[in-house]
Amino acid sequence: MARFLKAKKESIGLAPDAIHFRGEVKCAKTRIRLIDYNPNEIMEKEVGSIDEVLECGKSSTVSWLNIDGLHDEEIMNDLSVGFDIDPMIISDLLNTHIRPKVHEYDTCIFVSLKMLRVNDESQKLESENFAIIMKENILISFQEKEGDLFDPIRERLRKNRKRIRGSGTDYLMFALLDVIIDNYIYIISQLGEKIEDIDDELIESDSSSHLEDINRYKSELVYLRKIIKPCRELVLNLGKTDSDLINDYMEIHLKELQNNIELANETIDNYREILSDQLNIFHTNMSSRLNAILKVLTIFSVIFIPITFIVGVYGTNFDNIPELRLEYGYYMMLTVIIAVVALMIYYFKRKKWF
């Protein structure tokens, strides 16, 4: 299955603001969870429809509405109408293959990027689209399937951490993006450990399995780069926005996001160079090994050339050959052969050819 670009033929020709799911269904049922909080209290509940949460965002509390599963177009349409969200935004988040982006609207900020995870069975990287619609007092997040990546943020809210409980939706958005980018760095570090281990193994052996590992890790790094590199532009654009929805105190936090995404991109580039060096080392080792084998074979060939000549002359079928009738002619020939071999080996060793 293609990981770099997926598109469906039925999506061709749809209107840009069509509320139509363009992706893969990754969970059986859409799940809607609400966390409503202020510095003094917090309320959590799971709801069955958008109608139950339409009052969110109209009070002084901060509401975090998380939706797992994007395939229910009816729920998405209700969301668009109920919270007065431009259908173009809903259309974008239903296209799970769009490039990471941030867009500032009059009443909200829309952010879309990829989340990463490692498949436990295949050990390959997988991604899912994650989107945020941030309004003044409500933040709506969208995931393709349920996951536990944001559980630490929920725990911080439950334990009444003053910074997150006392801040608005802009800080909540930062916290979600920070978790995603930190997860990028963690996955890169896990892959980096495996890449660095190859260095030691290449010194000890030149097994062909190393070539398979190098090529596999190169493919994973290319996939990582495809996911993470556009996020650099996203974070930079988010830092440049002059929206009233983002307070001045967020500047330092957005700088932190920029530093982390720069670290992720630089680390990917470093590991790509390491893999290229390892590939060169592998091919160099293989060439050296082949040269050593050819060197030994060449030496044996050179040694046997004069021996073959002597035996060929000695075995010529003519009656009048000098020394052919000698009683010790055979032993004399063997002596000459041994002497020639010994002299050639001595000469090769003096020249340090082996």
Band (235; pLDDT cuts 50, 70, 90)? very high
Average model confidence (pLDDT) for the chain? 85
The Cα 95–Cα 113 span in angstroms is 12
Domain boundary among 284, 310, 328: 284
Please report whether residue 151 resides in a domain: yes
pTM: 0.80
Q: State whether 14 and 85 are in the same domain.
A: yes
pLDDT average, residue stretch 195-204: 79
Domain boundary among 284, 314, 329: 284
pLDDT digits 0-9 by tens, 113-136 = 999 988 878 778 888 999 999 998
pLDDT of residue 258: 93
Do 99 and 123 touch, CB atoms closer than 8 A?
A: no
Band (174; pLDDT cuts 50, 70, 90)? very high
Q: State whether 179 and 79 are in the same domain.
A: yes
Please report whether residue 101 resides in a domain: yes
Has residue 110 got a pLDDT over 60? yes
Q: State whether 153 and 62 are in the same domain.
A: yes
pLDDT digits 0-9 by tens, 24-73 = 888 889 999 999 999 889 999 999 899 988 888 777 889 999 999 988 88
CATH classification of the domain holding 36: 3.30.460.20
Q: Which residues of 118-149 are buried (b: 16+ CB within 10 A; e: fewer)?
A: eeeeeeebebbbbbbbbbeebbbbbbbeeeeb
Q: State whether 346 and 275 are in the same domain.
A: no
Has residue 354 got a pLDDT over 80? no
Domain boundary among 240, 257, 284: 284
Which domain, by its residues, includes 321? Answer: 297-350
The HSE-up count of residue 302 (CA atoms within 13 Å, CB side) is 13
Q: State whether 278 and 314 are in the same domain.
A: no
Q: State whether 278 and 342 are in the same domain.
A: no
pLDDT average, residue stretch 63-91: 91
- C-alpha distances out from residue 46 to 68, 82, 157, 191, 340, Å: 11, 18, 16, 36, 93
Has residue 169 got a pLDDT over 60? yes
